[in-house]
Amino acid sequence: MDIQKILNNLFHLGREILKQKDIQTLLLSIADITRNLLNADRCSIFIYDKENDVLYTKVAHGIDPIVIPKDKGIVGFTFSTGEVQIVFDAYEDRRFFPEIDKLTGYTTKSLITAPLIDSHNKIFGVVEVINKQTGFFSSLDAELLVLSSSYISSILENAFLNELIKESHTKVILKLSTAAEFKDEETSLHTKRVAIYSSIIAESMNLEKEFVSNITITAPMHDVGKIGIPDKILNKPGKLTKDEFEIIKTHPTIGFNILFDENSDLLKMAANISKDHHEKWNGTGYPDKLEKDNISLEGRIVAIADVFDALTSKRPYKAAWTFERALTLIKEESGKHFDPELTECFLNNENKIRDTYETYKE
C-alpha cells in the first residue's frame, strides 16, 4: 500500500475526530477510514455489554447490529486475551465463529482484530476488519488497526464519562428544583407542566433532539432563585407592593448565580432559563430589559410555558384562569411579551397543550 494513501487517511482521521460530531456518526466515519486504510471490505466495532455478558456491534458495515457470546470467534479470542490476531483463511481457523456469516450470507475470508482498551487498561471491546481486497493483512495493517483502536477507545471512554457527568448534573438539578418547591407553594406538577409545554414548543420548532431533551430537564429550574426570596412575600395572599415586587425581581439573577457552570451545557442552559424567563420580546421585562434574540432561545420558550401555567394555576394571590382565557392572553401578547414565532408554535399545538393541562391538573 502506498504511503500517500496512508497519510491521507490518517489526516482524514484526525479531521473527523476534531469535528466532534455525535458519537455514532464519529465511530462510523472512523470505521470507514479504518476499512480504507487497511484496503478491506468491512469494519466492525464490538463493545462488551456487562449486563448481558455479550459482545455487540456498536458499528458494523453492511449488517444489522449483532450480538455474540463474549468468548466466541476470533473476536472473542481478542476480547479475552487482548491479542491482535491476523487470520488468512477464517474457515481454516478452529476458533472462527461462522454464525454471523450464516446470518448475513456473507463470506468471511481474511480478518484482523485488535482490542479496545480503556485508560485503566481494561479491555472493553474489539475492532475487527474483514476481507483484505488484495493480498493478505500485514504487520503494517496490524499497526494501523491498533492506532485506530486507540482513537476508538478514547472516544468511547470520553462519551461514557460525559454520559455519567450528565447523569449526575441531571440529578443535582432535580434535587435543586425539589428544594425550590418546598419553599414556594407551587407544586411539582407546575414544574412538570412547564417542562412539557417547553418541550412541545421546542419540538415544534424542529430543534435538535439534544436541545429538546435538555430543555425538558432544565425548564423546571426557572424559579430556583425564589429560594432567596422571603416566604412572606412569595406566599402573600394579595397584591405585592412596589418594593416587594422589586425583591421578587431579583429571583432570575439569584437563580443564574446558583446554576451557572461554564463546564456544563446543561447547567449553562438552566442558568440562562433562570436569568431570561421574565425578559420580554419588546424589551420591557427584567432583570436586563433584553430584547428579541438577545434573550436566549431557552429563556423565550420557558417564558411562554411559565406564564401559561401561572395563569391556569391557582396562586396565593390569584385564582386559576380557564384554559381558553389563558390561551387568549398568550395570543394577545405575541410580539409584545412573547417571541411571535414561538407563540405560533405554542398555539399550533393546542391539542397537546390541552392534554398536558388535563393530565397534570392539580
Q: Which residues bind ligand C2E (CB under 6 A)?
A: 234, 236, 239-240, 248, 278, 306-307, 310-311, 315-318
As measured in angstroms, the least distance from the Cβ of 16 to ligand SIN is 18
- What is the distance between the alpha carbons of residues 7 and 33, in angstroms, rounded to a whole number? 11
Instruction: For Cα atoms 68, 26, 99, give the angle at the middle one, nearest 5 degrees.
Output: 15
**What does the CA dihedral 121, 124, 127, 128 come to, rounded to 10 degrees?**
120
Q: Give the sign of the dihedral formed by CA 160, CA 166, CA 171, CA 174.
A: negative
- What is the distance between the alpha carbons of residues 299 and 272, in angstroms, rounded to a whole number? 6
DSSP state of 320: P
Stretch of 13-21, 48-56, 217-225, 332-340 contacting Fe ion, by CB under 5 A: 217-225
Q: Which does 315 bind (CB under 5 to 8 A by kind): Fe ion, ligand C2E, ligand SIN, none?
A: ligand C2E
Stretch of 57-65, 173-181, 298-306, 344-352 contacting Fe ion, by CB under 5 A: 298-306
Q: Which does 264 bind (CB under 5 to 8 A by kind): Fe ion, ligand SIN, ligand C2E, none?
A: ligand SIN
In this structure, what are the phi and psi dihedrals at residue 277, rounded to the nearest 5 degrees? -70, -10
Choice between 168 and 322, CB closer to ligand SIN? 168
Residue for grid cell 420557558: 302
As measured in angstroms, the least distance from the Cβ of 337 to ligand C2E is 7
Choice between 138 and 250, CB closer to ligand C2E? 250
Choice between 306 and 333, CB closer to Fe ion? 306
Q: Report whether 144 contacts 6 (CB < 8 A).
A: yes
Distance of CA 186 to the CA centre of its chain: 29
Q: Which does 124 bind (CB under 5 to 8 A by kind): Fe ion, ligand SIN, ligand C2E, none?
A: ligand SIN
Choice between 114 and 311, CB closer to ligand C2E? 311
Strand 40-49: give its sheet, edge to edge. Answer: 67-69, 54-60, 40-49, 123-132, 111-117, 85-87
Helix (H, G, I), strand (E, B) or coil at 134: coil
Choice between 213 and 282, CB closer to ligand C2E? 282
As measured in angstroms, the least distance from the Cβ of 182 to ligand C2E is 15
What phi-psi label fits residue 283: left (phi over 0), alpha (psi between -120 and 50 degrees) or beta?
A: left
Cis peptide before 237 (omega within 30 of 0): no
**Binding residues for ligand SIN, per CB under 6 A?**
44, 47, 73-75, 96-97, 100-101, 108, 118, 124, 128, 156-157, 159-160, 162, 165-166, 169, 264-266
- What is the distance between the alpha carbons of residues 231 and 234, in angstroms, rounded to a whole number? 5
Strand partners, 116: 125
Question: Considering only residues 306, 308, 312, 346, which one is a binding residue for Fe ion as defined by CB under 5 A?
Answer: 306
Choice between 78 and 356, CB closer to ligand SIN? 78
As measured in angstroms, the least distance from the Cβ of 123 to ligand SIN is 9
Choice between 125 and 285, CB closer to ligand SIN? 125
As measured in angstroms, the least distance from the Cβ of 223 to Fe ion is 4
* Residues of this chain that bind Fe ion (CB under 5 A): 223, 306
